[in-house]
Amino acid sequence: MPRLRRPLPPCPSAASSGPCSPAGGCRGRTTLPGTAAACARRAAAGGGGGGGEGERGGKDPQPPPPPPPWPGHGPAAWPRRRAGPRGRPAGSGAAVVAEGLLQRAGRPGLRHTPGTGQSASRWQQRIWSFRRREKKVDVTAMAQLFGYVDMTDSGFIAAILSIAFNPFFWNVVARWEHKTRALSRVCGSPHTACYCLGTVILMLNCVRSHCFTEAMKSQPKLEGLDSHWAYYSGLVVLAVGTLFVISSFLALGFTGTFLGDYFGILMEAKVTSFPFSVLDNPMYWGSTAIYLGWSLMHASPAGLVLTAVVAISYTIAVLYEGPFTEEIYRRKQKGAKNK
């Protein structure tokens, strides 16, 4: 008995908008579930009632475009990155990251437009706060400070050279003496050689102070520091620095202050009284405080810059002298134990 084929269900849209097209699918505006496959099989089998708009040269209607986004939404309202140098986004890194996270998450938020009733979302407010903070952060103070300093002035350059030369000179000479004992042989004794070197160091310090003062006088003053409170603040700082210098000199003595241990003139014990009970190397930091107070009293930006150079030179000197001096006293203790 021949097997009968199951008839295909009719296209529900054939009555209203024509038969199925040979390419498959219904051209009607409405379809029922389960009839799309039937229409495709009917079109493949050649059915469909003898063609339609596709066969007559017409075009199938295009799907309606998606509705436009409501005002303030959509990609057009998303924050755009401004191209910076070398193709990098301009603006602060935090703002750029926030914008990227916002776009990736698909949360454009509302952009506030003056004169409208739209309000910004929490993410958009953060982006704007980052950008406002970026505009406020600047280097106005530093630019103003260096605007008063002429780096090419001969007096300023001489002051920098004298500041850098002094610790370099006494460290090189003291180490050379510790290695060769040449100054002790020339002067006749280690004490005499130490006094000679100390005198030369004092003279170099006077030259440094003179160059420092002349550099301040040749440079303009800063209006913000040219006041009574700055003058008296500098006077207090200068007094504290002088106290540290004088007290450390009295605690160490002349030979202890001017590198006597490099000449073999060692102290019996480590000094722990004031000002060494307050901070290490009070002679160096007291001298730095003197220059700082002197600069504040003269309202000199050049003096402040030179004071920073003094602090840097003393920091390098401490890193250079400290381990070497500790090694000298370690050898002394080792020799005393061997005896």
Tokens of residue 142, six digits: 């530093």
The dihedral sign for the CA sequence 243, 249, 252, 256: positive
Is pTM beyond 0.85 here? Answer: no
Position 335 scores a pLDDT of 72
Position 148 scores a pLDDT of 79
Euclidean distance between CA atoms 8 and 19, whole angstroms: 13
Mean pLDDT of successive 10-residue segments in the chain (339 residues)?
51 47 46 53 51 46 60 50 46 52 49 45 60 52 69 94 95 94 93 95 96 94 89 96 96 92 87 89 95 95 95 94 86 73
Euclidean distance between CA atoms 114 and 255, whole angstroms: 76
The phi-psi region of residue 269 (left if phi > 0; otherwise alpha if psi is between -120 and 50; otherwise beta) is beta
DSSP 93-148: HHHHHHHHHHHHTT-------TTS-----HHHHHHHHHHHHHHH---HHHHHHHHT
Alpha helices (runs of H) in the chain, residue ranges in sequence order = 14-17, 36-44, 93-104, 122-136, 140-147, 154-180, 182-187, 190-218, 228-257, 282-297, 301-338
Environment class of residue 300 by beta-carbon count within 10 Å: exposed (0-12), middle (13-18) or buried (19+)?
buried
Nearest CA among 197, 202, 175, 212 for reference residue 317:
175
**Contact predicate 199/261, CB 8 Å:** no
Bridge partners (DSSP) listed for residue 87: none
**Contact predicate 290/307, CB 8 Å:** no
Residues 6+ apart with CB under 8 A from 48: 11, 14, 19, 20, 21, 22, 42
Residues 6+ apart with CB under 8 A from 277: none
Rg (CA), the chain: 43
Euclidean distance between CA atoms 100 and 182, whole angstroms: 70
Count of CB atoms situated within 10 Å of the CB of 108: 20
Count of CB atoms situated within 10 Å of the CB of 59: 7
Position 224 scores a pLDDT of 83
Nearest CA among 216, 230, 228 for reference residue 291:
216
Tokens of residue 49, six digits: 């009632």
